[in-house]
Amino acid sequence: MEENTESQLVTSRSVGIRYGIIFGLISIFYFLIFTMADIDMSKGISRWGTTVIAFVIVFLAHKFFKENGDGFMSYGQGIGIGFWTGLTASVISSIFTYIYVKFIDDGFVTKIRDKAIEDMQAQGQSEEQIEIAMKYVEMFTNAEALLFFGLVIGMITLVIVALIITIFTQKPKPEQFV
């Protein structure tokens, strides 16, 4: 009887929130390392690193769910875990990024904008084209926009990761014959 109560405590939401907190903290650490080292996070391994970490986190969350539950996980439960992981991690990391950009490092946004200008110049765009494009860059590179897009993109990314990982990690309950 006690074992049944234990398995009921493990839900896709509780596991997702647990692993979302872990992923949110890892994301903050990852962000700080690359920011302090002044490494461009839009290129190379630094760009895809958080996605790789997301795959690992969702896999581990699914494993935890099955090991601490009844041993089974439906496709829907796997997606639910990914949703809750994404929601929790996105809230944590986006709020941190907002605070960092708004109150700690006001030069962070300037670096992003300067990099955008450099990239456009390297592509051979005219000053007029750069000026027009920079109006949009400025609109999307303030603390509030980074908060919003961090939440939205983080959620979408984790749900997509969960859609993929769950294909391999699901273990549906065998159907009972009546």
Instruction: Tell me how far apart the terminal alpha carbons of the chain are, to the nearest angstrom.
Output: 24
Cα–Cα distance measured from residue 64 to residue 10, given in angstroms and rounded to the nearest whole number: 9
The whole-number pLDDT of residue 4 equals 47
The model's pLDDT over 60-84, given as tens digits with 9 standing for 90+, comes to 999 999 999 999 999 999 999 999 9
- pLDDT at position 3: 47
Q: Answer for the pair 71, 6: CB distance below 8 angstroms, yes or no.
A: no
Whether the CB-CB separation of 132 and 117 falls below 8 Å is answered with no
C-alpha distances (whole Å) from 175 to each of 28, 63, 73, 171 are 43, 22, 13, 12
HSE-CB for 106 with a 13 A CA cutoff: 1
User: If you write DSSP's letter for every residue of 41-79 in order, what string do you get?
Assistant: TTSHHHHHHHHHHHHHHHHHHHHHHHHHTTS-B-HHHHH
Region of 38 please: left (phi>0), alpha (psi -120 to 50) or beta: left
- Is 28:93 a contact under the CB 8 Å cutoff? yes
Enter the pTM of the model: 0.86
For the segment 137-163, what is each residue's pLDDT rounded down to a tens digit? 888 888 999 999 999 999 999 999 999
pLDDT above 90: percentage of residues in the chain? 62
